[in-house]
Amino acid sequence: MVSIRQQLTSPLQWVALISAALILLPLGYVAALALAADVIVWQRLWATRIPELLANTVSLAATVSLLTLLLGVSTAWIVTRFDFPGRRLWEVALVLPLAMPTYVLAYVYNYLWGFGGPVEQLWQALAGPQSHLFSPQSFWGASLVMTLDTFPFVYLLTRSALLTLNVSFEEVARTCGASRLETMWRVTLPLLRPSIVAGVALVVLYVVSDFGAVSLLRYQTLTYAVFQQMTGRSDNQAASILSILLVVLALLFLVTERWFRQKSRFYQTAGRYRAPERTRGGWLQNASLSAYLASIVGASFGVPAWLLVVWTLSPEAQEALDGRFFGFVWNSAVLSASAASVGVLIGLPLAYLAVRKPTWLNMSCLQAAYAGYVLPGPVAALAVLILFLKLLPFLYGTAVVLVIAYVIHFLPAGLQSLEPSLQQITPNLEEVARTLGSSVRETWRRVTFPLVRNGFIVAWVLMFLQTMKELPATLLLRPVGFDTLAIRVWLEASEEYYRLAAPSALLIVLVGLPALALLLSRDWRAA
Amino acid sequence: MKDERRPARDEVNPLAMQPNLYTPASSVLELRSVSCAYEPQRPAVHDISFGASEGEILCLLGPSGCGKTTILRAIAGFEPVRTGEIFLSGRRVSSSSETIPPEARRVGMVFQEYALFPHLRVADNIAFGLRQHSRAERRHRVQDMLHLTGLEGFERRYPHELSGGQQQRVALARALVQNPVVLLLDEPFSNLDPDMASRMRQDLHVLLRRMKTTTILVTHDHDEAFAMADRIAVLNKGALEQMDTPERIYHLPATPFVADFVGQADFIPGTVKEGLVETELGPFPNTARSPEGASVVVMIRPDDLHLFPNKAAACRIVSRQFRGSENLYTIRLASGQLVHCSESSTTVFDEGTAVDLRVSATHTVLFRHGPL
């Protein structure tokens, strides 16, 4: 093993170490604050809020994962194993909900499903004037909105697993006498399990750390409670304790998921690629499949998007499209661009060292950077906030604090596309350039950089767009009077000014679409 | 074979005996004028007919894209046939109007990459197709197969814990345990290293003989086909070029393609004169009964030629390739044509040596033209 002293000779190493420390410091500080809290504070929280919050959070995550499992796997199965007119269209359309931030979908559903809304009117026309559906501001409301927003994670991963699944497994099962249905239960689904679990894991992390939907639907989860402690009561200590609980919950879950993945690591399901056989059916089958997919896409994207367009075109909203509105757009763009640029600059040395010199030091730096993965927005904000109040109070209330919170929060998203793009260049490529007479710098410019460029761009765009729609950290840390598009949507929607919120919401959704295209282009090849 | 060779050209030898090529009555498997696949990504096959009798090992040999795997998949029921029929044990399983699903055919299949279910242990993989049997019967059968394939002690392992050869044996056991009507093997040795492949070939041959399982083996490797098959069907561009015993395929190829595909072959042009084929290497009997004056080509294998150094000769050695058990020489004739000649590995001649060539073939193969 290389000693630490030897490793510290490279300046790149220092950059990586400092970045990792900067990312871990706020988290450590939150933990320290929580652990230093008086036992009485812990006891008070434990007696009053924690049991309810934990139960709410866990039951929401469980319900949403079950529902996304059903929706995600069934839709993936339909688009990969059946052939019917419009299949390719649905294949893409099923991803669209990912472009819709949870707070946008929540606010649209507040109207759609709310008291006296279109859905209730329809329901009363069918079931009688006295009947009521569950309110959107309830457990079931939150479950519905979160499910519609996150099932594409399961859909995407299951779909690509189904497309790359070696068809020989199914064929050999058939020659062993298993029917189509039996083959699905005994072979295909067990082989898809790792991908399905990975998809559900994304859903759970997303649900646990979501702030937008639960705040607009007034459903108490841990993440929402952290925010309330910070704003309503200005009690950072209580917020720290809840944050730590939240992080531990997420970590516990991640460890379980990792363990499961280790167990099924040997699932080499890919192989010689042969397109799976698609079932063709009569008009009745085609119509029912189309209707099923249409209702899912309609509920999760079609109807909400259409409502946003209608509201944006209303005179009320048109009036609000003045200089102030473009100021919000500008604020959002500048913030997102700076966060993305800083993120790429910090992420590059971390990813490069971990890929090229995978010593334990470099690997732990990279792992540290992934810590933001389990930090919900309010927690990241809290961490940065209390650290700056303590160390650099004069920066508090400036955009700098905000950018740092974004970087900590979204660096994992960037790293996830930086890392593979570095991994795909084997050292041999650089070495062959050296034997052909290129210097180190020239090799970097002519070989390495052109190869990783696309990964850079993808990382930048992903961080830009994530920041664009970020809500809780922005709410907590923004300079006074500094509004972004996401803030406007949330503020107007909280006051139930549905029409006024629409232009900002629509813009966020539209800007999110290219990010989707980027995400998809990576695993769409198999189609 | 080489040792038995004598100069006489028209003696009775094992190649002359006609094997029973087409016996529908006793066929376990029979294809009648089968054509299939019009999807662009899969090779099409046209008008293929052949049969396999009980316990026979039949090999489909051809270059990639010749349609051999398509035929195998048609037999398994994965590929519908456009015209023609397929019969298994006398039952019609495929026709243009009807395709009986694979699970109802009782075929066993071993895929190139084995396709062992990674979520099941070895014993559960083998027992996969035995659902309808009682638990005791299942265990009994699995134990038998483990014993036959030499996999005892591995039943609790997962596929990823096995070597390539062991994985292949599990795949075989899983296919054979159901007593299939016919066993289908798709390039079964291509994922093994050469040493392991030749050992597995021998083991498999013994096993199949013992179980008397009718087997269709797909391969692109003629050595593998020669080692395993009772009969070989050579396919090219979706059509059946020749179906015969390995010996006859090698020594009496029906087409220039077959001659070229199953081993090194040179094609010497010649003209029919007074009942003999006159070539640069001397006269050959006109076995094809071509008319006087016709131009034909004579197929020569490297082991049909022998070289003798002679300073006055017009042929020159161009290169020598050492192959362990033999030396393969490339020789340029006076006309510029290149031919190949194999000599024992201990006699070595330098490049540029002038040599005389002598032909000592037991039979002469004539074609109208060389391979296209």
**With contacts defined as CB-CB under 8 Å, which chain A residues touch B41?**
275
**With contacts defined as CB-CB under 8 Å, which chain B residues touch A269?**
118
Task: Please answer whether residues A211 and A227 qualify as being in contact, where contact means their C-beta atoms are separated by less than 8 angstroms.
Answer: yes
Q: Tell me which residue in B118, B129, B131 faces A269 most closely, judged by beta carbons.
A: B118
**With contacts defined as CB-CB under 8 Å, which chain B residues touch A179?**
101, 103
CA dihedral A480, A484, A490, A494 (to 10 degrees): 50
* Closest chain B C-alpha to A421 CA, distance in angstroms: 28
| Residue B67 confidence (pLDDT) above 80 | yes
* ipTM of the complex model: 0.75
d(CA B250, CA B185): 22
Q: What is the mean pLDDT of chain B?
A: 87
| Residue B176 confidence (pLDDT) above 70 | yes
3-state DSSP call for residue A236? helix
Q: What are phi and psi of A131, to 5 degrees?
A: -80, 150
Report CB contact under 8 Å: B119, A264: yes
* Closest chain A C-alpha to B118 CA, distance in angstroms: 6
Please give the C-alpha separations between residue B66 and each of A277, B86, B216, B222, B240, in angstroms, as whole numbers: 22, 19, 16, 14, 9
A166 inside 8 A of chain B by CB = yes
d(CA A199, CA A407): 24
Number of CB atoms found within 10 A of residue B264's CB: 15
d(CA A129, CA B336): 100
Strand (E) positions, B9-155? Answer: 27-36, 45-53, 57-61, 81-88, 91-94, 107-110
Report CB contact under 8 Å: A175, B102: yes
pLDDT tens by residue, chain A, 527 residues: 445 555 556 777 888 888 888 888 888 888 888 888 788 888 888 888 888 999 999 999 999 999 999 999 999 999 999 999 988 899 989 999 988 999 999 999 989 888 878 888 888 888 877 777 788 889 999 999 999 999 999 998 898 888 888 888 888 999 998 888 899 999 999 888 888 888 888 899 889 888 989 999 999 998 888 888 888 777 778 888 888 888 888 888 888 877 877 766 555 555 555 666 788 888 999 999 999 999 999 999 999 999 999 998 988 888 878 878 888 889 899 999 999 999 998 888 888 888 877 788 888 888 788 777 677 888 888 888 888 888 888 887 788 889 988 988 888 888 887 887 787 777 777 778 887 778 888 888 888 888 888 788 888 888 888 888 888 889 888 888 888 889 888 988 888 888 888 888 999 999 888 878 877 776 554 33
d(CA B330, CA A217): 85
A370 inside 8 A of chain B by CB = no
d(CA B199, CA B187): 15
**With contacts defined as CB-CB under 8 Å, which chain B residues touch A271?**
113, 115
Q: Tell me which residue in B128, B132, B180 faces A173 most closely, judged by beta carbons.
A: B128
Taking one residue from A and the other from B, the number of pairs with CB-CB distance under 8 angstroms is 79
Q: Tell me which residue in A168, A264, A268 faces B111 most closely, judged by beta carbons.
A: A168
* Closest chain A C-alpha to B116 CA, distance in angstroms: 7
Report CB contact under 8 Å: A177, B131: yes
Q: Tell me which residue in A176, A264, A268 faces B178 most closely, judged by beta carbons.
A: A176
Please give the C-alpha separations between residue A207 and each of A246, A299, B200, B277, in angstroms, as whole numbers: 12, 19, 53, 86
